[in-house]
Amino acid sequence: MTTAATMQAALSPQDAARQLALTRMKRLAAGLLVLMAVIFTVSFALQDRYPWLGYVRAAAEGGMVGAIADWFAVTALFRYPLGLRIPHTNIIATRKNEIGASLGEFVEANFLAESVVRGKLESVGISRRLGGWLSSSSNAERLTGELATAGRSVLELLNDDAIKNLIESVAREHLVRPEWGPSLGRVGERLVTSGQQHAGVDLLLERADAWLRAHPEAFGRAVSARLPSWLPGFVDKLVDDRAYREVIAFVEGVRAQPQHPVREAIDRYLVELTNDLQHDPVMILRVESLKEGLLNSPRLREFAGETWESVKASLLEALGDPQSAVCTGIRGTLVDVGTRLARDDALGARIDRWLVDSVTALVQNYGHEIAGVITETVERWDSAETSAKIELQVGRDLQFIRINGTIVGSLAGLTIYAVANAVAGLFA
């Protein structure tokens, strides 16, 4: 299949319309040339009988010359006229790479210049426009839907095994490699110093008191099980009741007295424990051994997998429901940000300044590469296809050159013939 046939098959609806308009203009220009040729033939044949036809012949002759010259000029841009390899024809195809390079340089110099980019961005007022757009609930909802769709697509494209490996490696890097003892000791020391352990002790005592009052039989059986079997049953009962009351009273006393010896003993133990966790090599080694036993088990891999699967399922469900807390939060955040940008001139000015500086720096550093995309793209195009593409875009307008050339040539031929006859009449 030829290049022209390939392009014809791949034309978009817009390009198909351009192709139809180009074909019509070519036929009109060619029709004018044929009309000039017919007029010239008739007037040339009859001018001896009707001298005034000499003016018509001159006009038609000039129109033909202008039409042919401009046909040649227009055709030479895109192909070889009549297939003849005349020098300096088929210009676009033969100089495609130079044209691409020149176009890239033109874009870089005139569109990617720092002054142009900075001036345009500063005149736009990006933050205010963006804020006004985002502050509309309908726009925020639409953008939320797009973000949710993009988020779901990203989640579905992610490799689950790779994410699980990442979670496991991060856990090992930040949980397994550092020593636990000193870190736990420092955290514990701050908690004990601020008295945070008291709330935990109160909770334990409260739960112990509640359990004892709710399960007196279980406590009694636990005490009886430790008494000699030869004691009579009523002795077991007395001991159970006595022990139960003593334990209840003891727990109540500890709960009621902030300075109870048990509480002070717990505080001293915690102080010693936090100190040992930070400075005692034996304690640090024991904690490390416990850590290794916990995290080197297969459960760590299972935990990473379960964590990712749970997070992924929750996010997919939330992003798929426009009324979920996640989507509602995104919408609300977008509207809030838009409102602030629209109303807070100081914030908008800072953001605009940051955007202008960032984009300008980007253009300064990568402007040549951005313009180079044009050059590289044109270089990759097929020469014949490039000519066909450009002709499709501008060829219709260029056909007016042929039409204008026909008209101007006719007027020029008529003027020259009339002036020549006038001058000849003066010297006759």
142 belongs to a structural domain: no
336 belongs to a structural domain: no
Q: Is residue 46 very low, low, confident or very high in pLDDT (cuts 50, 70, 90)?
A: very high
Please check whether residues 179 and 314 belong to one and the same domain.
Answer: yes
Instruction: Specify the pLDDT at position 28.
Output: 93
428: three-class secondary structure by DSSP: coil
Q: Is a pLDDT exceeding 70 seen at residue 8?
A: no
Instruction: Specify the pLDDT at position 42.
Output: 94
In this predicted model, what pLDDT tens digit does every residue of 227-281 receive, in sequence order?
Answer: 555 445 544 555 557 777 778 888 788 888 888 888 888 888 888 888 888 888 8
Q: How many domains does one find in the chain? A: 2
CB 70 within 8 A of CB 401: yes
Instruction: Specify the pLDDT at position 71.
Output: 92
Q: Which helix (H) or strand (E) holds 160?
A: helix 160-171
289 belongs to a structural domain: yes
User: What mean pLDDT do residues 50-78 have?
Assistant: 91
145 belongs to a structural domain: no
In this predicted model, what pLDDT tens digit does every residue of 312-345 receive, in sequence order?
Answer: 888 888 888 888 888 899 989 999 988 888 888 8
In this predicted model, what pLDDT tens digit does every residue of 53-62 receive, in sequence order?
Answer: 999 999 999 9
Please check whether residues 265 and 414 belong to one and the same domain.
Answer: no
Using the 3D structure, point to which of 318, 347, 371 is the last residue of a domain: 318
Which range marks the domain in which residue 55 is found? Answer: 3-94+382-426
221 belongs to a structural domain: yes
Using the 3D structure, point to which of 318, 350, 369 is the last residue of a domain: 318
Please check whether residues 178 and 255 belong to one and the same domain.
Answer: yes
Instruction: Specify the pLDDT at position 245.
Output: 77
Instruction: Specify the pLDDT at position 172.
Output: 65
Report the alpha-carbon distance of residue 146 to residue 133 in Å, rounded: 15
Neighbouring residues of 407: CB distance < 8 A, sequence distance ≥ 6: 63, 66
Using the 3D structure, point to which of 318, 337, 354 is the last residue of a domain: 318
User: What mean pLDDT do residues 387-395 have?
Assistant: 83
Instruction: Specify the pLDDT at position 1.
Output: 45
Q: Is a pLDDT exceeding 50 seen at residue 391?
A: yes
Please check whether residues 173 and 299 belong to one and the same domain.
Answer: yes
Q: Is a pLDDT exceeding 50 seen at residue 423?
A: yes
Report the alpha-carbon distance of residue 121 to residue 360 in Å, rounded: 9
15 belongs to a structural domain: yes
Mean pLDDT of the chain, nearest integer: 82
Instruction: Specify the pLDDT at position 43.
Output: 93
In this predicted model, what pLDDT tens digit does every residue of 193-242 receive, in sequence order?
Answer: 888 888 888 888 888 888 878 877 776 666 565 555 544 554 455 555 77
Please check whether residues 85 and 229 belong to one and the same domain.
Answer: no
297 belongs to a structural domain: yes
Report the alpha-carbon distance of residue 280 to residue 283 in Å, rounded: 5
Please check whether residues 77 and 204 belong to one and the same domain.
Answer: no
82: three-class secondary structure by DSSP: helix
Please check whether residues 169 and 262 belong to one and the same domain.
Answer: yes
195 belongs to a structural domain: yes
Please check whether residues 190 and 306 belong to one and the same domain.
Answer: yes
User: What mean pLDDT do residues 71-89 have?
Assistant: 87
Lowest mean pLDDT among 39-53, 86-100, 166-180, 368-382: 166-180
- Give how far Cα 352 sits from Cα of 96, 112, 121, 221, Å: 40, 19, 8, 76
Q: Which two tokens stand for residue 184?
A: 């736990």
366: three-class secondary structure by DSSP: helix
